[in-house]
Each structure stands twice: as C-alpha cells, then as structure tokens.
Amino acid sequence: MAILLPEMARPPVTLLAEDERLFRDTVRSFAEEVIAPRVAAMDEAGRLDPDLIRNLFELGLMAVEVPDNYGGAGASFFASVLVVEELSRVDPSVGVFVDVQNTLITNSILRYGTDAQKQRFLPRLATELVGAYALSEAGSGSDAFALATRAVRDGDCWHLSGRKMWITNGGEAGLYLIFANANPAADYRGITAFLVERAAPGLQVGKREDKLGIRASSTVELILDECRVPADDVLGEVGKGYKIAIETLNEGRIGIGAQMVGLAQGALDHTVRYVQQREQFGHRVADFQGVQFQIAQMRTELEAARLLVYNAARLKEAGQPFRMEAAMAKLFASEAAQRISSRCLDLHGGYGFTREYPIEKFYRDAKIGTIYEGTSNMQLQTIAKHILR
C-alpha cells in the first residue's frame, strides 16, 4: 500500500521552518516505510501492531512535547501537529493513537501535574506507557459535563464508580485520565480529574467497540466499581476537572484537524497517482478536464483546511487565544476530509468500492472526524459564541 507521491501533491514547504520541514520529512519516511505495509492487516484485525507501538515510542513520537529531562523529544506543539498529520496521511488510526497521547494526556500532565506526578508518569509515557482520556459516558457525549461517574473521598483515597464510553486508546492504555464528579451538588464545578493506572483496584476494561472506521484504534468501555485512587493522583485541584477538560479538548481539536488534513492528503495522493495511470476512452483519466477540476477543487479545500489547522497551532504556541480558531480548524478539516475522500472514491470508480485499493479505508476513517472531540454542531456553537460575544 506504500506509494511514493508526486511532489506536487505535498504540502508547500514555505509554511514550515527548515527544522520543522526536516522533522516532518523524517516522520513521513517512517510512515511510508514502517506503517504503510501494516495498514491493511491492522484494519482487518482491528488492532495496532505491538511492534509498531514500540517503534512509535522509540522514535519519540509518543512524547513530542515532553522535555528531554523526562525522556521526551522536547519539541513543540506544532511539531506534534505535524506528526499527527503525517501519520494520518498513511493511517489515521495511528494518527489518532499518537494524537491522544500528545495533545490530551502528556499535555494535561505537563500543564496541571505536580512535580511528583510528572516524575512518576512522564518518563514512562515517553518510553512505554500508553495513555487514554476518559471523559465521555453513555449519557454525556456532547453534553460532556453531565457526568454520572462519581468520586467519593475515603481518607487518603478516592472511590470512583461509573462507566466511561468510547475511550480511544483504552485497549492499550496503562494510564487513564478519568473525569468524575466529586460534588454533584456543585454541578460541573464538582468535576475532578484523576490519574488512574490500569492495575487500580476496581477498574475494568470493558468491551471493545466494532467500528466503521479507524478500526485499528481501540475504542473501549471502562467500568469503575469503587475504583480506589490515591488522593495524590488527583490532577490539578478537586473541582477543577471541567477546566482541564475544556482546555485540553481545545488543543485536542487542533490534533483532530491535523488528523483529518493528513487523511485527506493521503486520499488525494492515492487518487492523483490513480488517475494518471488509469485509462478510459483511450486517454488517461487525468486528461479529462472534469477530473482535473475535481482534483483542483480538492487540493484547494485541503490547503484551506491545512492553513486553518496550522494557524490554530501557531496561535496556541504563541500564547494567544485560539479556542475559536481550533473549532474552525476541526470543523472545516473534518468536513473537508469527508468530501475529499468521497470524491476520491468516486474517481476510483468500482475499484474504489473494493478493499483492493486503500481509498475505501480513508472514506470509512473520515466519518469519525465530525463526531469525536466535539461534533460539527458543537464547533459551530463555539464559533458563534465567539463571534456574537
């Protein structure tokens, strides 16, 4: 499934500094040489290859922003966005696996963790420990703060009880960032974030969802039955979990935007190659003006999505407000990825509808982009609030 891409289909280097371009190219080579040969088998099995997970750690892609004194790459948030984009260009399942680790888990600990928590978890997250973010429940999807999971203090421990749903990376994770309400009378102001290790008493990993797309990425249920969590493993302050959730999801949406940009780029790259090889009526498919116009339209939409994602990432790095821009990036990139992957499948004709070609997987994978980490309607609501404020 690995295809060397024509230079015209690649992102313009003028958007990147030299060191960023070199970093991107390193990740691109890894994706094409190491991930691409595994994509079909992982999708069929519905699981990531354990050897590939080890490769991701060894290359430093699971701790992009973690400082080197904790064993991480010590790079920037923008670098993590480039990583997610390039991995997703080959397999969006791998892209989201790395995205959750970087934009949600390590970022949360770097920002809100105590020195002891950083010393305890960051070196492991950089080398072998997978993290998962557990906010959603059956009754709290878009209404993220309608949590039924409860946390009750008992001496120097907390007891967590409830069920978490649709937890990305949950199958491989050894550490979960779990949100529970420690004071329901205070509504969302009682929500608290806990760092919970997989071996914690009372924690059980439930069923693994059988999904339409990003099948190699695990999505599981977590069952908490009086799960015992030491008081020292509260992340941030008791009652400040809602703030942690909001701020990390704002950053996470940029990561999902990058995943969708990478996905759309991958679909377009395969299609550009295909229409230049496939012949109909004695001509290459690429010679027909109608096809050329579709390719041009898709490339324009893709570049607009990429610029929105990069802009949001640059604003975040500069310490500027970026919540609206993150919502715009996630909204536009996810919807553009669906349009582009659908058009690309059409241009493959009957071949696109088979698993012989990779385009049908991009088409399936694209659907999740408008759903997780905030639906398109939620992004529109966020954008409108900022405009009308």
> Which of 184, 219, 239 is the last residue in one of the domains?
239
Query: Do residue 63 and residue 153 come from a single domain?
Result: no
Give the per-residue pLDDT at 325: 98
The residue with greater pLDDT, 294 or 4, is 294
Please tell me the total count of domains within the chain.
3
The residue with greater pLDDT, 14 or 105, is 105
Domain that includes residue 375, residue range = 243-388
CB neighbourhood size of 115 (10 A): 7
Query: What mean pLDDT is predicted for residues 300-322?
Result: 97
- Does residue 1 fall inside a structural domain? no
- Does residue 2 fall inside a structural domain? no
Taking the C-alpha atoms of residue 253 and residue 79, their distance in angstroms, rounded to an integer, is 15
Percent of the chain with pLDDT over 90: 93
> Which of 212, 239, 266 is the last residue in one of the domains?
239
Query: Do residue 201 and residue 302 come from a single domain?
Result: no
Query: Do residue 229 and residue 103 come from a single domain?
Result: no
11 pLDDT exceeds 80? no
User: Which is catalytic among the residues 65, 172, 301, 373?
Assistant: 373
pLDDT digits (tens, 9 = 90+) for 180-216: 999 999 999 999 999 999 999 999 999 999 999 999 9
Query: Do residue 323 and residue 384 come from a single domain?
Result: yes
CATH of the domain at 110: 1.10.540.10
Of the pLDDT bands very low, low, confident and very high (cuts 50, 70, 90), residue 1 is: very low
Taking the C-alpha atoms of residue 202 and residue 125, their distance in angstroms, rounded to an integer, is 23
268 pLDDT exceeds 70? yes
Q: Where are the alpha helices (DSSP H) in the chain?
A: 18-30, 39-45, 50-58, 77-90, 92-99, 107-112, 115-127, 241-277, 289-317, 323-348, 359-366, 376-388
Query: Do residue 115 and residue 76 come from a single domain?
Result: yes
Query: Do residue 228 and residue 248 come from a single domain?
Result: no
Give the per-residue pLDDT at 145: 83
2 pLDDT exceeds 60? no
CATH of the domain at 192: 2.40.110.10
> Any catalytic annotation for residue 373?
yes
pTM: 0.94
CB 158 within 8 A of CB 229: yes
pLDDT digits (tens, 9 = 90+) for 146-159: 999 999 999 999 99
How many helices and strands in the chain, by DSSP H and E?
A: 12, 10
Query: Do residue 384 and residue 340 come from a single domain?
Result: yes
